[in-house]
Amino acid sequence: MQFGIAIPQIWTSPQEEKGVSLPAFLARAEALGYHSGWVQEQIIGAASTLEPVALLSYAAAATRALRLGTSVMITPLRNPVQLAKSLSTLDYLSGGRLIVGVGIGGHLKLYPAFGIAPEGRARRFAEGIRVMKRLWTEERVTYDAGFWKLEGVAMEPKPVQKPHPPIWFGARQPAALRRAVELGDGWMGAGSSTPAEFTEQVGQMRALLAEAKRDPATFPISKRVYLAVDTNKARALERLRGWFDAYYRNAPMAERVCLWGDAKEVAAGLRAFRAAGAELLLLNPLFDATHHLEVLAAEVIPQVG
């Protein structure tokens, strides 16, 4: 069982932002033995959110062993040629520690702001992943299958990881889970999935892996978990609702998807995700990042195993 930690990236108040030292947080996460540090993506929106590739580049310089992941980037909104270059550079600078989490996203209203029509977004998404893989693995790429056209295009340096950084899909719907098996190297259950939903999706994923004759031992299953460790459960829930209201404009969602309570209660919730099939849990406290970094390592993770 492995445990990742969300890198502080989203602040609901200036006071919270000032209270976090990113270099100290990253160094401590590495010292405490966390497997990986993770960021997510919200390019436009009212929440105060740092851009993921830039933040992971900073994290790469501040760490030596911590793996670095995106969970997830909405890649249909990005040019795959430029993104392939940015991610290859990040993998190169980090010494091969990158995990590329990708997703299609669910907010169609975002597309016009990027000059892109939402129609055909699933095809654009899949094609973009194929373009990036080829740029990472081939000396010269010739490609003309729809959205992009490349003629003898070279891209160097290649990523350190071979054949390329692992691509983990964030997916919930059957068609998206099927794409994950077809094109991905792993899967991460959404933070917005309940334990029951995650359990059902794991079952679907395992059936799809068997159908595709893919070895499940080489296809990691992971889960983002929003949580708060606090003996005052009412206070914890109030703060979780405030975060979900600021980031998702959906305060009630917190009660449906989060874990909160003392260390024993949170550990019990994490064990349920482990029992459902998660091999890596991305622990995502939504406030008091430095405090949670310590208490999760000292009091919660040992109870999960």
Distance CA 244, CA 229 (A): 16
What is the pLDDT at residue 261?
A: 98
Spatial CB neighbours of 11, under 8 Å, sequence gap ≥ 6: 17, 20, 48
- Which of 217, 224, 221 has its CA nearest to residue 203? 221
CB 216 within 8 A of CB 202: no
54: left (phi over 0), alpha (psi -120 to 50) or beta: alpha
Residue 39 confidence (pLDDT): 98
Average pLDDT over the chain reads: 95
**Beta-ladder partners of 222:** 188, 280
Closest CA to 297 of 55, 96, 3, 60: 3
pTM: 0.96
Nearest to 76 by CA among 56, 51, 106, 97: 106
Q: What percent of the chain has pLDDT over 90?
A: 90
Cis peptide before 165 (omega within 30 of 0): no
Helices marked H in 63-194 — which ranges? 80-93, 121-137, 174-183
CB 204 within 8 A of CB 181: no
Pairing of strands 259-261, 221-229: parallel
| pLDDT score at 242 | 93
Residue partners of 236: CB distance under 8 A and separation at least 6: 228, 229, 230, 260, 261
* Domain range enclosing 147: 2-304
Say yes or no to pLDDT of 231 above 80: yes
Confidence of residue 297 (pLDDT cuts 50, 70, 90): very high
Site of tokens 């040629």:
81
| pLDDT at residue 46, rounded to an integer | 84
CB 216 within 8 A of CB 244: no
Q: How far apart are CA 131 and CA 194, in angstroms?
A: 33
Q: What is the pLDDT of residue 113?
A: 95
CA distance 235 to 169: 34
pLDDT for 305 equals 79
Q: Residues 85, 108: contact at Cβ < 8 Å?
A: no
Question: Does the pLDDT value for residue 16 go beyond 80?
Answer: no
CATH of the domain at 84: 3.20.20.30
| pLDDT tens figures, 56-100 | 999 999 999 999 999 999 999 999 999 999 999 999 999 999 999
| Domain count of the fold of the chain | 1
